[in-house]
């Protein structure tokens, strides 16, 4: 009888849960089912408020969000089982990343906080749930992100060609897979869509720039882009990680963006994401 696994994650965009039911083979996998489950609007608002304004997030608020998020993760897993007709007894484990609320790997006592109570997931599904991955990595001296390079190496490493895996969420990250047995690398390149989402929300009240239409209507301001690219984070050598704690509205405001055409700012932020990802990939050369 084959064994299946479920993976659950919600990224820094905090827009919902990505869920996948997979069957693993020898350096291969088969996706049985996959879904994206949106957060209830009230929950998403609470998550954003807690993460962006940690000084006003009480223990009671965090506990409530932890339970609510865990229930949503549980429902996402149950939804996969229902649509795939796979019985819970056939699933060996659930891996739950949880929802990052705070990520501070570079302070004197490094820490990272993910919520989405895994006990609720395990109890609600009847399946072993493995969680709290990022804290374990930080305890070992890592950055707590990204955690996928060993998996990418297992699935995509080639003896003949260099490969790179790019993930663009709120924060963008890459896995660099040089051909042969060269050392792999994985790190956060900088903002993915977090600044783009923050800017369109501020200007138009929209959660995101659908199909990039607003950015496409503007023109990149090369001078402003150059100032953004001069941020010290981009020059740091890997390994490194970052988050909305750093690349946020306060960071945006430091560039006097309100003095520029709003669509041009969106186009410039889009170029910032592309340029910093490209620069990371160039490390393979």
Based on the domain organization, do 125 and 166 belong to the same domain?
no
Residue 149 included in any domain? no
Report the predicted TM-score, pTM, of the whole model to 2 decimal places: 0.85
Q: What sign does the CA torsion over 236, 238, 240, 243 have? A: positive
Q: What local confidence, expressed as pLDDT, does residue 155 receive?
A: 92
Query: Is the predicted pLDDT of residue 2 greater than 80, yes or no?
Result: no
pLDDT digits (tens, 9 = 90+) for 153-208: 999 999 999 999 999 999 999 999 999 998 999 999 999 999 999 999 999 999 89
* Burial bucket for residue 173 (CB in 10 Å: 0-12, 13-18, 19+): buried
The mean per-residue pLDDT over the stretch 115-131 comes to: 98
Query: Could you give the 3-state DSSP secondary structure of residue 261?
Result: coil
The CATH number covering residue 103 comes to 3.30.420.40
Q: What local confidence, expressed as pLDDT, does residue 26 receive?
A: 81
The confidence band for 67, taking pLDDT boundaries of 50, 70 and 90, is very high
Our count of domains for the chain comes to: 2
d(CA 112, CA 127): 25
The confidence band for 15, taking pLDDT boundaries of 50, 70 and 90, is confident
Based on the domain organization, do 12 and 116 belong to the same domain?
yes
Based on the domain organization, do 166 and 255 belong to the same domain?
yes
Based on the domain organization, do 124 and 177 belong to the same domain?
no
pLDDT digits (tens, 9 = 90+) for 194-248: 999 999 999 999 989 999 999 999 999 999 999 999 999 999 999 899 999 999 9
* Burial bucket for residue 98 (CB in 10 Å: 0-12, 13-18, 19+): buried
The mean per-residue pLDDT over the stretch 125-139 comes to: 95
Query: Given its phi and psi angles, is residue 154 left (phi above 0), alpha (psi -120 to 50 degrees) or beta?
Result: alpha
Q: What local confidence, expressed as pLDDT, does residue 146 receive?
A: 87
Residue 226 included in any domain? yes
Residue 33 included in any domain? yes
> What does the block give as tokens for 158?
């080639």
Q: What local confidence, expressed as pLDDT, does residue 137 receive?
A: 92
Based on the domain organization, do 209 and 269 belong to the same domain?
yes
The confidence band for 76, taking pLDDT boundaries of 50, 70 and 90, is very high
CB 185 within 8 A of CB 165: no
Q: What local confidence, expressed as pLDDT, does residue 223 receive?
A: 96
Residue 150 included in any domain? no
Residue 67 included in any domain? yes
Q: What local confidence, expressed as pLDDT, does residue 110 receive?
A: 95
Based on the domain organization, do 82 and 176 belong to the same domain?
no
pLDDT digits (tens, 9 = 90+) for 44-63: 999 999 999 999 999 999 99
Q: What local confidence, expressed as pLDDT, does residue 96 receive?
A: 98
Q: Which of 139, 170, 189 is the last residue of a domain?
A: 139
Residue 262 included in any domain? yes
d(CA 32, CA 122): 20
- List residues bridging with 17 in a β-sheet: 37
d(CA 280, CA 113): 27
Residue 258 included in any domain? yes
Query: Is the predicted pLDDT of residue 1 greater than 80, yes or no?
Result: no
d(CA 44, CA 46): 5
If you ran DSSP here, which 8-state letter would residue 62 be given? H
Domain span holding position 278: 161-284
Residue 21 included in any domain? yes
The mean per-residue pLDDT over the stretch 68-75 comes to: 98
Write phi, then psi, for 86 (nearest 5 degrees): -90, 130
Lowest mean per-residue pLDDT among 21-25, 27-31, 34-38, 213-217: 27-31
Q: What local confidence, expressed as pLDDT, does residue 165 receive?
A: 97
């Amino acid at each position: 009888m084959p064994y299946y696994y479920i993976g659950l994650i919600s990224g820094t965009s905090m827009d919902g849960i990505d869920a996948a039911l997979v069957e693993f083979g020898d350096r291969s996998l088969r996706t049985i089912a996959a879904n994206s489950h949106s957060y209830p609007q009230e929950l998403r608002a609470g998550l954003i408020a807690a993460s962006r304004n940690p000084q006003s997030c009480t223990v009671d608020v965090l506990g409530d969000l932890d339970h609510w998020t865990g229930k949503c993760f549980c429902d996402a897993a149950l939804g996969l089982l229902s649509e795939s007709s796979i019985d819970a007894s056939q699933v060996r484990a659930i891996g739950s990343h949880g929802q990052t609320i705070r990520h501070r790997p570079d302070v004197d006592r490094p820490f990272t906080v993910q919520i989405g109570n895994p006990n609720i997931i395990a109890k609600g599904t009847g399946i072993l749930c493995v969680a709290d991955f990022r804290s374990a990595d930080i305890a070992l001296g890592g950055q707590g992100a990204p955690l996928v390079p060993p998996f990418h190496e297992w699935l995509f490493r080639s003896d003949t060609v260099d490969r790179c895996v790019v993930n663009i969420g709120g924060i963008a990250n890459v896995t660099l897979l040089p051909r042969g047995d060269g050392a792999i690398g994985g790190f956060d390149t900088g903002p993915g869509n977090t600044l783009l989402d923050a800017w369109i929300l501020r200007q138009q009240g929209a959660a995101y720039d659908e199909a990039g239409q607003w950015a496409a209507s503007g023109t990149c301001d090369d001078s402003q882009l150059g100032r953004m690219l001069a941020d010290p984070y981009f020059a740091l050598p890997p390994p490194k990680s970052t988050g909305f704690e750093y690349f946020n509205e306060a960071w945006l405001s430091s560039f006097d963006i309100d003095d520029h055409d709003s669509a041009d700012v969106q186009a410039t932020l889009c170029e910032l994401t592309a340029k910093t990802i490209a620069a990371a990939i160039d490390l393979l050369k």
